[in-house]
Amino acid sequence: MSQTHARKVETFAADEARVDWHSAALLALRDKRDLQAKSLPQWEQMRESASRMKLYVLSHLPELLEQFTSNCEANGMEVHWARDAKEHNEIVASILKERGKKKLVKSKSMLTEEVHLVPHLEKHGIECIETDLGERILQLREEPPSHIVVPAIHLKKEEIGELFHEKIGTQAGASDPTYLTHAARESMRQEFLSADAAMTGVNMAIADEGAFVVCTNEGNADMGAHLPDLHIAVMGMEKLVPDADSAALLMRMLARNATGQPSTSYNSIFGAPRPGCELHIVIVDNGRSLRMADRRHAEIYKCIRCGACINTCPVYRRGGGHSYDYFIPGPIGLAIAGDNPEANSEAWACTLNGSCNNVCPVKVPLRETIAYHREQLAQQKQLPYHKNAYMPLAGKIFGSPRGLSMAMTAVRVGLRIMPQILQRRIGGWSKSRDFPKPPAESFAHWYRKNRGE
């Protein structure tokens, strides 16, 4: 059993100035997203269309997978289906090893985090270089991402300056973002030129074309994929869309919702290997089929990984991305994996405020899915925070008008006689808030006295 989420946030939450800085950085993304969304009067219709399109995909996966695969093969690509993380990693390793590849440059992919690809390849003696700037920073720090779109959002530029000074030889004390970015680019350029294989993720896989879209802001995916003679693209099977129009709809929403840009800077559609080169696609299930079989869990696979739910989440912003057990933080992470009994407090790292639902471009019912995980954990008696013990008792007391009245009266009287100085030491609620000053009588009592029955 991992530590509770409440325990895990303690260190991060203790530095209030840093919490405010972190929260403001993410709110800036949310504000930019709002501006971009509001620049399209038809935004809400687009959300509805995108949601329905992704529901169509989830309910027609077998046909679409076969269609995509045969069209890709007709276009000269090789397609591999992987049942789980292990199979995925073995496929990738064998493609690389059979061709004697030693150095892989990869663009950002949450899937490779999910299946722990990099450690697997390193075991096989293959060097892996992250080429997304944020991911590269974290690779140098040997730290996991704290966000799915802006993975190093928890770091300040001064901390990155120190890291670069130590790892890539920038001037001591330098923290100017332009200077640091240029230095990273110089260092990265050497990696691109010496790599003999490239890996990208997939943002949308277009079934009727046998092609796929990769969106980046840094052009790193393109730089990687266009130099060596081998490109491996990896994707979760939910990345499918039926056609190019569907991909275009998502492309209009993805960057707007993620970072408040009208579009990512680089949008490449890969439809065939370059002459003399190989292009492989690995499609992964890794538990997706099982989750999709549960109607109340399935819609998480509409997600296009824009991260907007994370940016708007008031809990994430104040607790940081490393406070979660699952590698994807925030609402979408909780909606995917909040049913894990080993990290049973995760589903409670949420106030059910529903802001995430409203920003989601494909209308994933995040709030309802998180609530569903709580129901499942309750049924398995795997509740966190002592709820296994007190919830049945609460149910009994609250279920009886007399019991409820007696219990509430006891609390009321208790708070009336207990000195405030002691109330403030109770903890929990009273760590940062006073209890209310309770009245002498309840409304029910007053009504009986003054209005009769």
Give residues 19-38 in contact with other proteins (rule: CB under 8 A). 19, 27, 34, 37-38
Residue 30: count of CB within 10 angstroms of its CB: 18
Least distance (Å) between residue 333 CB and other proteins: 16
Q: How far apart are CA 159 and CA 155, in angstroms?
A: 6
Least distance (Å) between residue 242 CB and other proteins: 25
Nearer to other proteins, 134 or 384 (CB): 384
127 Cβ contact partners less than 8 Å away, ≥ 6 residues apart = 102, 103, 104
Which tokens go with 443?
């409304």
Least distance (Å) between residue 367 CB and other proteins: 8
* Stretch of residues binding other proteins (CB under 8 A), selected from 40-48, 52-60, 137-145, 150-158: 40-48
The pattern of x and - marking residues 407 through 446 that bind other proteins according to CB under 8 A reads -xx-xx-----------x--xxxxxxxxxx-xx-xxxx-x
Tallying the residues shown for the chain, one arrives at 453
Dihedral sign of CA atoms 17, 22, 23, 28 in order: positive
Least distance (Å) between residue 67 CB and other proteins: 34
Q: Which of 44, 73, 245, 294 binds other proteins (CB under 8 A)?
A: 44
Least distance (Å) between residue 343 CB and other proteins: 14
- The DSSP 8-state label assigned to residue 399 in this structure reads T
Least distance (Å) between residue 408 CB and other proteins: 4
Which tokens go with 283?
């499609």
3-state SS, residue 219: coil
CA–CA–CA angle 174, 177, 181 (5° rounding)? 100
Q: How far apart are CA 82 and CA 70, in angstroms?
A: 16
3-state SS, residue 310: helix
What's the number of CA atoms in the CB half-sphere (13 Å) around residue 10?
7
Nearer to other proteins, 126 or 347 (CB): 347
Nearer to other proteins, 224 or 319 (CB): 319
Q: Tell me the C-alpha to C-alpha distance, in Å, between residue 340 and each of 206, 288, 336.
A: 32, 15, 9
Q: Does 142 interact with other proteins (rule: CB under 8 A)?
A: no
Nearer to other proteins, 14 or 172 (CB): 14
> Residue 77: which of 277, 221, 228, 241 has the closest Cα?
277
Nearer to other proteins, 22 or 88 (CB): 22
Show contacts with other proteins in window 321-360 (CB under 8 A).
345, 347-355, 357-359
- The DSSP 8-state label assigned to residue 2 in this structure reads P
Nearer to other proteins, 64 or 349 (CB): 349
Amino acid identity of residue 295, one-letter, is R
Nearer to other proteins, 288 or 317 (CB): 317
Least distance (Å) between residue 453 CB and other proteins: 7
Least distance (Å) between residue 250 CB and other proteins: 17
CB distance 321 to 330 below 8 Å:
yes
Least distance (Å) between residue 398 CB and other proteins: 4
Q: Which of 194, 318, 322, 326 binds other proteins (CB under 8 A)?
A: 318
Q: Where are the alpha helices (DSSP H) in 206-243?
A: 220-226
Least distance (Å) between residue 439 CB and other proteins: 5
The pattern of x and - marking residues 202 through 221 that bind other proteins according to CB under 8 A reads --------------------
Q: Which of 40, 110, 140, 227 binds other proteins (CB under 8 A)?
A: 40
Q: How far apart are CA 405 and CA 410, in angstroms?
A: 8
The pattern of x and - marking residues 354 through 393 that bind other proteins according to CB under 8 A reads xx-xxx-----------x-xxxxxxx---xxx-x---xx-
The label of the residue with tokens 């009986």 reads: 448
Judged by CB under 8 A, the number of residues near other proteins is 83
Show contacts with other proteins in window 276-315 (CB under 8 A).
312, 314-315
The label of the residue with tokens 């590698």 reads: 327
Question: Could you tell me the maximum CA-CA distance found in the chain, to the nearest angstrom?
Answer: 91
> Residue 109: which of 4, 176, 201 has the closest Cα?
201
